[in-house]
Amino acid sequence: MTDTGLPASVEAVRRVREDPHRLGHRSHGPSEPVAGAGHGDTGPASKRIIVGYGFWIYLLSDIVLFSCFFAAFAVQRSATAGGPSIEQIVDIGRVAIETAVLLLSSYTCMLSFAASNARNVMRTQIFLAATGLLGLIFIIIEFQEFAVLAAEGITPQRSGTLTSFFGLVGLHGLHVSAGLLWLLTMMAQIQVKGFRPEITHRLICFNLFWHALDIVWIGVFTIVYLMGAGL
């Protein structure tokens, strides 16, 4: 035990001498190094790429989370237990406004990103504030929708269909609310600290998050509301 030897590596040198072509162990394919991209040839990627990439991976996991709630909605869509069906509770007009507001917030979010790329604090703040305001309007409309339904006795406790409806729409609303909290924190950070590298990295992540929520909402809008209303 005390002497582990190491004869194998010595013998391997001899083998390489006898088999200089290292059959079966040569590297393959031409490699075109891309600096800073994190590809094998050039070493680790820059911090900006690593942070953005990691956040993309998180977003993928979040999409999987949503997909479970979509799946539950698909399974329980007609499990009304004698209660109201999706067709009866969808108010397509209100949801159209909601959708427009949220999509507009994605646009202002993008404008804020353009402003932060230009290192313009005031414009960044204005567009972030606009994004937050639109997000807040979205949440208020959604809350109002839930309140109107609850007043009619249409609650998740009524049936499986309503459970999966409120669960899916509510999960999205919860994400938007968390996004609003994040947005306020980001605005405070930009105001106090300016565009330090780590803050611009977080802004990239916030933008990704906000746009991803929009994409999920397209799914909710289509599958729950449009298809629910029989359109």
Partner 1 sequence: MFGKLDLSAIPLSQPIPLVTSAVVILFALGVVAMVTIKGWWPYIWHEWITSVDHKRIGIMYCLLGGLMLIRGFADAIMMRTQQAVAINAEGYLPPEHYNQIFSAHGTIMILFGAMPLVLGFMNFLVPLQLGVRDVAFPTFNSVGFWLTASGALLVNVSLFIGEFARTGWLPYPPLSEATYSPGVGVDYYLWAVQISGVGTLITGINIVTTVLKMRCPGMSYLRMPVFTWTSLASCLLIVAAFPILTATLAMLTLDRYVGWHYFTNTAGGNPMMFVNLIWAWGHPEVYILVLPCFGIFSEIFSTFSGKPLFGYRSMVAATLFICVVSMLVWLHHFFTMGAGPGVNTFFGISSSVIAVGTGVKIYNWIFTMYGGRVRLAVPMLWSMGFIFTFIIGGLTGVLLAIPPADFITHNSMFLVAHFHNVIVGGVVFGVFAGMEFWFPKAFGFRLHEGWGKAAFWFALIGFWVTFAPLYILGLNGMTRRLQHINFEEWTPWLYVSLAGVIILILGVISQIVQLVVSILEREKLRDVTGDPWDGRSLEWATPSPSPFFNFAVMPNVEGEEAYWGIKLRAIETQQLAPEPEYAPIEMPLHTPVGIYTAFFSAIFGFAMIWSIWWLAIVSIVAAFIGFVVFAWRDVHEFKVPAEELAKAERARRAAREALLHRLSSHGAAI
Residues forming contacts to partner 1 in the complex (CB under 8 A) are 1-2, 4-14, 16, 25, 27-28, 31, 38-45, 49-50, 53-54, 57-58, 60-62, 64-65, 68-69, 71-72, 75-76, 79-81, 156-164, 166-167, 181, 185, 189, 192-193, 198, 202
Q: How far is the CB of 90 from partner 1 (least distance, A)?
A: 18
Q: What is the DSSP string of 51-120?
A: HHHHHHHHHHHHHHHHHHHHHHHHHHTT--TTS--HHHH--HHHHHHHHHHHHHHHHHHHHHHHHHHTT-
Q: How far is the CB of 64 from partner 1 (least distance, A)?
A: 4
Q: Fill in the amino acid letter for 174.
A: L
Would you say 10 or 231 has its CB closer to partner 1?
10
- Sorted by sequence, the CB contacts under 8 Å of residue 85 that are 6+ apart come out as 78, 161
Residue closer to partner 1 by CB (options 134, 162) is 162
Which residue's CB is nearer to partner 1, number 24 or number 93? 24
Q: Which residues contact 206 (CB under 8 A, 6 or more apart)?
A: 179, 182, 183, 186
71 versus 140: smaller Cβ distance to partner 1: 71
Minimal distance in Å, beta carbon 57 to partner 1? 5
230 within 8 A of 87, measured Cβ to Cβ? yes
Q: How far is the CB of 96 from partner 1 (least distance, A)?
A: 28
Q: Please report how close the Cβ of residue 92 comes to partner 1 at its closest, in angstroms.
A: 24
The single residue listed with the structure tokens 């040569």 is 26
> Residue 52 or residue 141: which is nearer to partner 1 going by CB?
52
CA 134 to mean position of chain CA atoms:
18
